[in-house]
Every structure is written in structure tokens, then in C-alpha cells.
């Protein structure tokens, strides 16, 4: 069991592990908390869980992508849900998570995130917020494999990002 950080007597939502020091310059702890809270609130899920986020580099995320998805390339974000919450019907709402401490784990790669932000002409902060919201929604059972599922997930992403002052990325 991971030890949760405590702030003002309450458990933080995010347990942050930094493997690449470039994340520290972005105040990743604050960004991760903000994005995770926004994602859960947008999905109507109480903020009473823990999410572990790994801030790593492209080499590390490529290893994880190869190990867990058999794709030996870097990607921007990966997620490992603690529960299978996917809806039974296309475009349906996922099952709410059970009472538990952890929702799952997310990894985010610095170089890919930075490159994509530059390509999109947005700040890395905005892109990091988007990717963490995206990863959190995957932990909650949302996906983008079909058009209906993607529409539902994107609507929640836009809703969460708007609460943080981030423009619609779509």
C-alpha cells in the first residue's frame, strides 16, 4: 500500500512519483492535483480516492508501453485502472468505482508532452492538465475506442479543462 501524502489533515488525491526532474520545474504536484480533482468532479465521482502519477521520460514510458501494451514506442500518457469499470454498451456511462483507496496509476512522459504542446501551440502546463484529465477518465472506465465512447470522454475532458481555464483541445 502506498503512503498517501497529507495536507491540512486530508489525504491528497495524487501520489506523485517523479523520475525525471524536468517535471519539478512545472510544479507537477499542483498540476496533478488540480487536473485529477477536475476530472473526478466532471465525472461526478467523489474525490475520496488516490491516484498514483509517475512523471517520467520517453525512454521509461516506452518500456512501460512495451511491457503492458506490446508497443515499444514512447507515448504521452498511459493508465492502469484498479477496476474494470467500462460500460457494457457503446457510449454508455461506466460503472462507478467501488469504495476503495486507489483508482489506479498513470504515467506521463516529459519529452512527448513537451513536443506535442509545441506542435499544438499551447503551453506545456495546459497540455499536462489535459493529459492527466485524460488518464484519470481512463481510470474511471471512459475510453475512446468507438465514436460514441470518444464523444462522451471528450465532453468530460472539455468540461474538466474549462474549470481550469484551459481551452477545448478538440
pLDDT of the residue at 5:
39
Neighbour count for residue 69 (Cβ, 10 Å) = 11
Domain locations in the chain?
6-162
The string of pLDDT tens digits covering residues 11-20 is: 589 999 999 9
On average, the pLDDT of the chain sits at: 92
Distance CA 48, CA 117 (A): 31
Residues 89-127 as b or e (16 or more Cβ within 10 Å = b): eeeeebeebeeeebbbbbbbbbbbbbbbbeeeeeebbbb
Residue 10: pLDDT over 70: no
In the CATH hierarchy, which fold is given to the domain comprising 6-162? Collagenase (Catalytic Domain) (3.40.390)
**How many degrees, rounded to 5, is the angle at CA 80 between CA 166 and CA 105?**
65
The string of pLDDT tens digits covering residues 116-162 is: 999 999 999 999 999 999 999 999 999 999 999 999 999 999 999 99
Amino acid at each position: 500500500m502506498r503512503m498517501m501524502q497529507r495536507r491540512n489533515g486530508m489525504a491528497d488525491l495524487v501520489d506523485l512519483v517523479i523520475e525525471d526532474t524536468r517535471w519539478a520545474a512545472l510544479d507537477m504536484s499542483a498540476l496533478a492535483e488540480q487536473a485529477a480533482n477536475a476530472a473526478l468532479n466532471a465525472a461526478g465521482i467523489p474525490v475520496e480516492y488516490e491516484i498514483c502519477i509517475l512523471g517520467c521520460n520517453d525512454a521509461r514510458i516506452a518500456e512501460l508501453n512495451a511491457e503492458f501494451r506490446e508497443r515499444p514506442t514512447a507515448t504521452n500518457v498511459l493508465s492502469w485502472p484498479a477496476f474494470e469499470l467500462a460500460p457494457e454498451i457503446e457510449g454508455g456511462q461506466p460503472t462507478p468505482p467501488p469504495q476503495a483507496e486507489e483508482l489506479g496509476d498513470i504515467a506521463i512522459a516529459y519529452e512527448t508532452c513537451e513536443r506535442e504542446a509545441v506542435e499544438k501551440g499551447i503551453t506545456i502546463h495546459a497540455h499536462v492538465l489535459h493529459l492527466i484529465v485524460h488518464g484519470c477518465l481512463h481510470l474511471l472506465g471512459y475510453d475512446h475506442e468507438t465514436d460514441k465512447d470518444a464523444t462522451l470522454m471528450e465532453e468530460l475532458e472539455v468540461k474538466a479543462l474549462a474549470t481550469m481555464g484551459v481551452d477545448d483541445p478538440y
